Amino acid sequence: MTDSEYGQRTETLQEPTPPVARDAVARGIDRGAIVTVYGRCTVDYDGRATSYLEAGDRHLMLKPDGAALVHTDEGQQPVNWQPPGCDHAVGCADGELVVESLRSTPDERLAVRFSEVLQVSAFSGTDENDLALTGTEEDLRQRILEEPTLLENGFTPLATERDTPAGAVDIYGEDAAGRAVVVELKRRRVGPDAVSQLRRYVDALERDLHADAAVRGILVAPSVTDRAGRLLTEHGLEFVSLEPPAE
């Protein structure tokens, strides 16, 4: 039922007793493995908020970086979790397997109590490669910097991440008439929040450059919602429809 010889890349136990499960989990954590436990459990969380989950069958994953995830059979998001950097502890109490993940700053505690353990697994392996992702806001920025005319004729980018009292502007530049232009980029359709963000930057830059300077604000995104479009008009801001490159 197990393949627990030293050096194996996986080690799995079916319906172990709590002490056996505890030792397997502890050994997996020690070896730097991804450890999973499936079984009937309750979950306590206390930290930034507080939660409790009554008994049910769930899947717990403990990662060597200190992350913990409790998954039910629904949803992309775990029902409970702990971020990387936590310390995992495992033990038996009242004949149950108990897994705890703790961290400080902020003080947070996750406790999973298994009344029944159906399976414990430990997975060791290597993963050297990083994800290659395209279609991000950064890609959209590159596209505009390489071909500023996409924004409008005569636009000249002068800086990216230009600092203002309100934060860093995505692209700062000049139009054909020499007016200052603030560009805010979004990789997808935007709502009111993006308009407010652009507005903050334009306001801040107008103060920074002295009161006389009128600063143009251009929102670049695939599209805007109705309300966002109205907000743009109200605030005298502009919109240019552009998407991140497909690849």
Partner DNA sequence: TGATGGATGTCGGTT
Partner DNA sequence: AACCGACGTCCATCA
Identity of residue 113 = R
Helix or strand run (H / E) with residue 29: helix 18-30
Phi, psi of 225 (to 5 degrees): -75, 165
Q: Are 220 and 230 in contact (CB under 8 A)?
A: no
**Residue (of 85, 86, 90) closest to 37 by Cα position:** 90
Smallest gap from Cβ 246 to a copy of itself, in A, equals 7
Phi, psi of 26 (to 5 degrees): -60, -45
| 116 versus 138: smaller Cβ distance to DNA | 138
The entry of DNA, a copy of itself, none that residue 168 binds, CB within 5 to 8 Å by partner kind: DNA
- Alpha-carbon gap, residue 64 to 25, rounded angstroms: 12
| 148 versus 229: smaller Cβ distance to DNA | 229
The entry of a copy of itself, DNA, none that residue 160 binds, CB within 5 to 8 Å by partner kind: none
The entry of DNA, a copy of itself, none that residue 138 binds, CB within 5 to 8 Å by partner kind: DNA
Smallest gap from Cβ 214 to DNA, in A, equals 21
- Alpha-carbon gap, residue 221 to 197, rounded angstroms: 14
- Tokens representing 175? 């139009």
Residues whose CB is less than 8 angstroms from the CB of residue 38 and which lie 6 or more positions away in sequence, other chains included: 57, 58, 59, 60, 117, 118, 119
Smallest gap from Cβ 10 to a copy of itself, in A, equals 5
How far apart, in Å, are the Cα atoms of 168 and each of 137, 173, 182? 15, 13, 10
Smallest gap from Cβ 148 to a copy of itself, in A, equals 24
Residues whose CB is less than 8 angstroms from the CB of residue 129 and which lie 6 or more positions away in sequence, other chains included: none
- Tokens representing 240? 């240019």
The entry of a copy of itself, DNA, none that residue 1 binds, CB within 5 to 8 Å by partner kind: a copy of itself
Smallest gap from Cβ 71 to DNA, in A, equals 10
| 81 versus 92: smaller Cβ distance to a copy of itself | 81
| 132 versus 211: smaller Cβ distance to DNA | 132
The entry of DNA, a copy of itself, none that residue 220 binds, CB within 5 to 8 Å by partner kind: none
Binding site for DNA (CB under 7 A): 45, 47-49, 51, 67, 75-77, 80-84, 105, 108, 110, 131, 133, 135-138, 161, 166-168, 170, 184-189, 191-194, 197, 200, 225-228
| 157 versus 191: smaller Cβ distance to DNA | 191
| 94 versus 130: smaller Cβ distance to a copy of itself | 130
- Alpha-carbon gap, residue 68 to 51, rounded angstroms: 15
Smallest gap from Cβ 98 to a copy of itself, in A, equals 19
